[in-house]
């Protein structure tokens, strides 16, 4: 063999997939599903009876967790669907830059500066107003399929 040392750069996701397969018949309301390559929260599921040629079908109505768009899909209940790995992490808000990016404090004391302010007007004004008033704000960041977005806000009192 060789005497050279091999160094591998470690990644947080260890190269894992952005989705995992799950049988369509087992996906329930308030779960997650991938419809047209978008991660969606399931808001409605209806299952049709088996027809003349076999499979029962599941009709999914989902809302894109990042854009809020409504998407629909029909899949045979015995087939597998992609389900996104959805993570939600809370960060403390440190700063809002002029160009719409936020600076967040991570658990290990570092900063995360690659996230934009949310596009949701209501949440956007709550964050800007709370920050202007000098409140200590904690934002929830949802991530799925390589995308991240601020989805909620908590006020933990004045600084």
Separation in Å, CA 74 to CA 21, 25, 39, 45, 116: 16, 11, 16, 10, 34
Kindly indicate the confidence band of residue 132, based on its pLDDT and cuts at 50, 70 and 90: confident
* Residue 126: both structure tokens together: 């709550």
pLDDT at 11: 44
pLDDT at 40: 94
Q: pTM, whole model, 2 decimals?
A: 0.77
DSSP state of 25: G
Nearest of 42, 37, 38 to residue 61 by alpha carbon:
42
* Residue 131: both structure tokens together: 């920050």
* Residue 78: both structure tokens together: 């015995």
pLDDT at 58: 92
CB burial of residue 140 (10 Å; 0-12, 13-18, 19+) = middle
Nearest of 135, 125, 123, 140 to residue 159 by alpha carbon:
135
Neighbouring residues of 17: CB distance < 8 A, sequence distance ≥ 6: 85
Higher pLDDT, 54 or 153: 153
DSSP state of 18: S
- Min mean pLDDT across 3-7, 22-26, 28-32 is at 3-7
**86-119: pLDDT as tens digits:** 999 999 989 888 888 899 988 888 888 888 888 8
pLDDT at 121: 85
């Amino acid at each position: 063999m060789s005497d050279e040392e091999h160094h591998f750069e470690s990644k947080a996701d260890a190269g894992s997939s952005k989705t995992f397969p799950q049988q369509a018949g087992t996906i329930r309301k308030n779960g997650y599903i991938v419809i047209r390559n978008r991660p969606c929260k399931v808001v409605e599921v209806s299952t049709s009876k088996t027809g003349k040629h076999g499979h029962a079908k599941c009709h999914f109505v989902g809302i894109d967790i990042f854009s809020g768009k409504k998407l629909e899909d029909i899949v045979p209940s015995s087939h597998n669907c992609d389900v996104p790995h959805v993570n939600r992490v809370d960060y403390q808000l440190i700063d809002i830059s002029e160009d719409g990016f936020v600076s967040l404090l991570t658990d290990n004391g570092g900063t995360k500066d690659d996230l934009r302010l949310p596009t949701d007007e209501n949440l956007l004004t709550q964050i800007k107003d709370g920050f202007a008033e000098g409140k200590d704000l904690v934002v929830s960041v949802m991530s799925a399929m390589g995308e991240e977005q601020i989805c909620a806000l908590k006020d933990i009192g004045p600084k």
